[in-house]
Structure 1
Amino acid sequence: MRGHSYANMTRNSSSIKLDNATLALFQDVNTSIAISVIYMLVTAINLIGNGLSMWLLVFRTSPKTPSIIFMINLTLTDLALGTALPFQISYQLQGYNWKLGPSMCSLLTLVFYTNMYCSILTMMAISIDRYLGIVRPMMFRETRGRKSIAVIGCLLMWGLVLAVLYPLMTTDLTFDVPELEITTCFDMLKANMLPSTSAWAAFLFSMVFFLFLVPFCVTTFCYVRVIRKLARDSKTAQKSRAIRLAFIVLLVFTVCFAPNNILLFAHSVLRLFYKKSLYMAYKLSLCFSCLNSCLDPFIYYFASKDFRQKVRAIMNLHSLSSADSMKLEHKESLYSAH
């Protein structure tokens, strides 16, 4: 599972005797319970928040601008993680004993990593959409063409992520630990999952560089340009909200994804070449990456006054006149990132 990857890289489950630190990790009940409780909270907030967001985006939001299409894609990946987290919780609470077989282990591991990296790429796509709409508006006029590009972009994101993560789909990620009479899932990786140390280095570099570092740099560039443009050209309440939202997105991007990917790369290099480990720090950083899945609805939707008014209207907490509704839809069509 994503929550416990790269603890050790071993040749096979029958000839390797685990070190005391690794055995202690699997027997650390307090840490396992603490992380499971966090995952329970994340699961509840994720499913409720993203379920509501998906309903609003699909059935209550029109027109379907590129930003809305990207948000639907982001919400879909978050819901996939929300449905996978209960299996991770059960696995941990049973003492890291996986009972659902190799195929299910590979599938859920893929769901975890796909969520992280599709979320990162989708956030990059939203930032590009905002950049083009605000900084380069003359390039951003044809709505129909933009919709097609957005759909193709989502498909390309999934294709890129699945291509990089292909080794996870073709390997038995379970590992028998006779000393504890348990079978782990993606806690212990076999060294022969990839043919050489160079292949491992390429795999890890592709994940961190192409699926995190490049999107992070693009997202930062786009939002910095958006903030500079709005700060110079307008000081209306709507533009101020957009600036604050850009800051929040960058902050969450940095807090949720940067520590995990940096520690993943550092830990893997230390493990592959120096037989050392940063695994506990890496494992704790995963809690922050999972938090993103339940924060997305608040960041992208509830931070927007227009979306908040729609939520209140649907829940009969606040009624919108037809004129207000038309005004909101007009705003959305002109300012797709809002």
Structure 2
Amino acid sequence: MSLEPESPREEQGFLGLGPPTMAVSPTPQQQEYGNGSATEGRLNESEASGTPGGFHSYDWMDVFSLLVTSLGLLGNGTVLWLLGFRIRRTPYSVYILNLAGADALFLCCSFLISLRRLATCFYYIMYMVVLYLQCMSYTAGLSLLAAISTERCLSALFPLWYRCRRPKHTSAAVCAGLWAQAGVIEVTEFVTRNYLAPRRFCNFLTIYFVCFVLLTCILCVSSLTLLLRVQCSSRRRRPPRLYLLVLLTVLVFLLCGLPWGIEGFINDRFRIELMPDILPHSLACVNSSVNPFIYFFLGKQGHKGRESLRLILQRALGEEQEVGGGMRDIPHTNTQETSSGG
């Protein structure tokens, strides 16, 4: 029996990302194709159906994913370079730096997986490592988005506390904790999936999905609070760019990133495939690719002429101050992660 997964969902496992599972009995297609791989079966099926170039729709979606992930890696790489080496650190730039890292890692894994499905050149163990890293980056990205949205909400609701009482290295500590949490989750999944009883793995899926829903609820509540805040402030003066950055990033995740997690859990827990797996995976790639373009779009908004990417990104991540109940932007170059600003 071939080690190749017989469907995209079996290929990706938990949340579309776990290790491949072995089929108990061959399907009619496998019997027809003999011991060939699932990829060969798809190609033979597409050739038989007369698809131009012998490409199945899954393969065309992989090509699309490769193009999207290439653009996303370019954008996220630019953000990582600017925030890591060219721009002074602020509380929110630390979050954005880690979010860009999570998106870049997710896109790297997606790029490699799409290449593997097109070229079938990866070894089985390397493929599993890439899948688990991809799932870890997805979990870290969701957690970082929730942290960014929550902290932005707290700074808007309790500005005095945020300026005077917020611990100095909160951003770095939270990011380190969230990355560690994502790693522990993936190690736990690997152990329960491969070395414990199936019931234990089902219990793990349930616990993980509860945490997934809780993070999503936190994300939605804090974003809704920010949206109301923007609505109130926009009547007096222009809302800060960072508010809009958080709201747009969360909106893109809810539209493009969230379906991947939900569809993967339903399929892995209940064996119900709501849609072809490649569709939510491609949407998740879009979610991780579009964030840098949101940053640069908001930083460029309202300013004409040619400017450096460093200046545009600084403007997008500029700190805000509450002045007389209103809000205004202050230059990013005058802010740093101090005890008063975090």
TM range (shorter): 0.7 to 0.9
Partner amino acid, structure 1, of 2:181: L
Runs of 5+ in structure 2 lacking a partner? 44-55, 315-328
CA contact (8 A) 1:259 1:285 kept: yes
Aligned pairs for 1:156-235 within 5 A: 156-167=177-188, 169=190, 193-210=194-211, 212-235=212-235
Q: Secondary structure at the match of 1:17?
A: coil
Q: In 1, Cα distance between the equivalents of 2:108 and 2:97?
A: 17
Asked if 1:6 corresponds to 2:32, the answer is no
Match of 1:155 in 2: 176
> What is the DSSP-based 3-state SS (H/G/I as helix, E as strand, rest coil) of the residue aligned with 1:16?
coil
Question: 1:145-177: CA deviations, max 9, x gaps?
Answer: 24x111111111112111111145559xxxxxx
Give me the whole-angstrom Cα distance separating, in 2, the residues matched to 1:11 and 1:309: 50
Does the 8 Å CA contact 1:252/1:292 hold for their aligned counterparts? yes
Q: Which residue of 2 aligns with 1:281?
A: 276
1:32-71 superposed matches below 5 A = 32-62=58-88, 64-71=89-96
Higher mean Cα deviation, 227-236 or 105-114?
Answer: 227-236
Shift in Å, 1:270: 2.2
Answer with 261-270 or 302-311: which moved more.
302-311
Distance, in Å, in 1 between the alignment partners of 2:62 and 2:121 is: 15
Q: Which residue of structure 2 lines up, in the alignment, with residue 257 of structure 1?
A: 257
Give the drift of 1:284: 1.8
Residue 50 of structure 2 corresponds to residue 28 of structure 1: no
Distance change (3 Å), C-alpha of 1:243 and 1:160 = closer
Partner of 1:313, secondary structure, is coil
Match runs of 1:243-322 below 5 Å: 244-271=244-271, 277-278=272-273, 280-299=275-294, 301-305=295-299, 312-314=306-308
Give the Cα separation in 1 of the matches to 2:264 and 2:209.
Answer: 8
After TM superposition, give the deviation of residue 251 of structure 1 in Å.
2.1
Partner of 1:174: none
Letter in 1 for 2:198: T
**Which amino acid letter does the alignment assign opposite residue 134 of structure 1?**
A
Distance 1:12 1:70 in 2: 36
State the alpha-carbon separation in 1 of the partners of residues 280 and 158 from structure 2.
36
CA distance in 2, matches of 1:158, 1:263: 23
1:131 and 2:160 correspond: no
Deviation at 1:143, TM superposition (A): 8.2
Shift of 1:144: 7.6
Contact preservation (8 Å) 1:32, 1:93: no
Shift of 1:10: 11
Give, in whole Å, the separation in 1 of the partners of 2:336 and 2:238: 14
Q: CA distance change for structure 1 residues 143 and 85 in 2, over 3 Å: closer, same or farther?
A: farther
Asked whether 1:328 is paired with 2:331, we answer yes
TM value normalised by structure 2: 0.73
Q: Would the aligned equivalents of 2:77 and 2:104 in 1 still touch at CA under 8 Å? A: yes
Identity %: 20
Runs (5+) with no aligned partner, structure 1: 172-191, 272-276, 321-325
Tell me, in whole angstroms, the C-alpha distance in 2 between the residues paired with 1:316 and 1:132: 27
Separation of aligned partners in 1, 2:203 and 2:150: 28
Distance change in 2, residues 1:224/1:99 (3 Å) = closer
The alpha carbon displacement at 1:42 in A equals 2.0
Aligned position for 1:179: none
Partners in 2 of 1:314 and 1:169 — Cα distance?
44
Match of 2:107 in 1: 82
User: Secondary structure at 1:106's aligned position in 2?
Assistant: helix
